[in-house]
Structure 1
Amino acid sequence: MKLIVVSAGLSSPSSTRLLADRLTAATLRHTDAEPEVIELRDLATEIAQHLVTGFPPARLATALDAVAAADGLIAVTPVFAASYSGLFKSFFDVIDKDALTGKPVLLGATGGTARHSLVTEHALRPLFTHLRALVLPTAVYAASQDWGQEGLAQRTARAGAELARFMTPTPQHTTPDTVRAHAHDAAADAAVDVDTAAAIAPRSLTGAVTSVDPADGFQVVPFAQRLAALGAR
């Protein structure tokens, strides 16, 4: 399996890359996926060229292909003006619209203050939902004061475990018993459908349905005849 990590940090070293590395380590504790880090600052010129020309240079094309082929994605951005950075958004603007469909994505963000902690929910999550990615429940935001705190370590560990769980396919075991069980369930569902169809069959304005057995068909009795039969009792 392949784990792709996208870091939009601008400095070197950067807190954004540090958070990306911690999320990667937390994920790899639960899976043997092969990680690969994409530093967007190294691709800034290529991203701008792609936006202008519509054609990705070779290095950017390789990065886009890696994201599309990944089994899981970690995406981390610094917070600029209470949202993701322009470089981060530009990279996901040029990615193929179907590249992230159904792909598990772990979101992360870094900022100078805890006041931006909801950026993962009001900015990042809608972006990746629009791209039809499978956005994990736990997103991790790290403010300057969070580093070294137990809370950040706990959120990071939980998020990494979630990503590993969604990256690992659940084996499907097929045995004669399960085949028979599925066949029985299908037959039961079919029977329910037939009975339901019979039960909700439209009533005639001049008669009444007196049989709902599909084998017998529907017998419509004229209202006058029904009324006379009741009177005879």
Structure 2
Amino acid sequence: MAERTRTIAVVTAGLSQPSLTRMLADRLAQATSARLAEKGIPTEVKIFELRDVALDVMNNMLTGFPSPKLDAVIEAVTGADGLIAVTPIFTTSASGLFKSFFDVIDNRSLTDMPTVIAATAGTARHSLALDYAIRPMFTYLHAVVATTAVFAAAEDWGSGADTVKTLPDRIDRAAGELAALIAASDRSDSVRDPFTIDASFSPTGGFQPSI
């Protein structure tokens, strides 16, 4: 029996166009698709640049309701078989846009989601932000986060890249871990309409402003 197609959602919070954040996201998606192909599993990659829904995210935070455009993005991301989440690092943490997007989705909608986290920054001194700021957020959301997180500083893209574990090496390792998690996951088969679980629950109503 042929393997069903797995969907990989890629969320990237780069602000410029083109951006190194998007480049890292693309490479992770390509490597993960290649690893799944080795297992005979076809994939469909859906890439979402948060800069395209920035105003929608802010309006959702102010009103508690997503626009149809943002609602479609949230539905695609939360309904995927795997997630690649990539952010630039600003002031030692994820970008505000990246954090705000995950604030407006329901905090149960990523439960058991196979996930790889990644980040970009100008210098390697920001690399720990992945583990002290970004990984805890996805743990709180009950995602299954791959052990390897990928950080890319500006020098990782040039001739001065780390010769011990190069960026392509780190991407390949993270992709292998995510591919294994996706292949073993039955999350999509077990996802139910949230309204049959709790009539008050909405997959796009995670952020309810009270102040």
Name the TM-score, length of structure 2 as normaliser.
0.79
The structure whose RCO (Cα within 8 Å, separation 6+) is larger is 2
Secondary structure at 1:128 match in 2: helix
Cα displacement (A) at 1:93: 0.1
Percent identical across equivalent pairs? 51
RMSD: 1.3
Rg comparison, structure with higher value = 1
CA distance in 2, matches of 1:121, 1:58: 33
Conserved? CA contact 1:67–1:99, under 8 Å: no
2:179 corresponding residue in structure 1: 164
Q: 144, 147, 159: which one pairs with 2:154? A: 144
Instruction: Name the amino acid aligned to 1:86.
Output: G
1:174 corresponding residue in structure 2: none
Structure 1 residue 10 corresponds to structure 2 residue 20: no
CA distance in 2, matches of 1:6, 1:59: 15
Q: 151, 155, 169: which one pairs with 1:154? A: 169
**1:139-166, CA deviations, whole angstroms, 9 ceiling, x for partnerless residues?**
0000000114461110000001110111
Name the TM-score, length of structure 1 as normaliser.
0.72
Q: Give ranges in structure 2 of 5+ residues lacking alignment.
A: 1-5, 37-41, 187-211
Instruction: Name the amino acid aligned to 2:24.
Output: L
After TM superposition, the structure 1 = structure 2 runs for residues 167-182 of structure 1, keeping only pairs within 5 Å, are 167-169=182-184
Cα displacement (A) at 1:170: 7.2
Determine which structure has the larger helix proportion and give its number: 1
Moved over 6 A (4+): none
1:72 corresponding residue in structure 2: 82
CA distance in 1, matches of 2:111, 2:101: 16
CA distance in 1, matches of 2:134, 2:143: 11
Describe the shift of the 1:153–1:127 C-alpha distance in structure 2 as closer, same or farther (beyond 3 A). same
Instruction: Name the amino acid aligned to 1:158.
Output: R
Secondary structure at 2:78 match in 1: helix
**1:152-188, CA deviations, whole angstroms, 9 ceiling, x for partnerless residues?**
11000000111011101379xxxxxxxxxxxxxxxxx
1:62 corresponding residue in structure 2: 72
Instruction: Name the amino acid aligned to 1:103.
Output: M
Describe the shift of the 1:170–1:95 C-alpha distance in structure 2 as closer, same or farther (beyond 3 A). closer
Q: Give ranges in structure 1 of 5+ residues lacking alignment.
A: 172-233
Cα displacement (A) at 1:96: 1.3
Instruction: Name the amino acid aligned to 1:20.
Output: A
Describe the shift of the 1:165–1:43 C-alpha distance in structure 2 as closer, same or farther (beyond 3 A). same
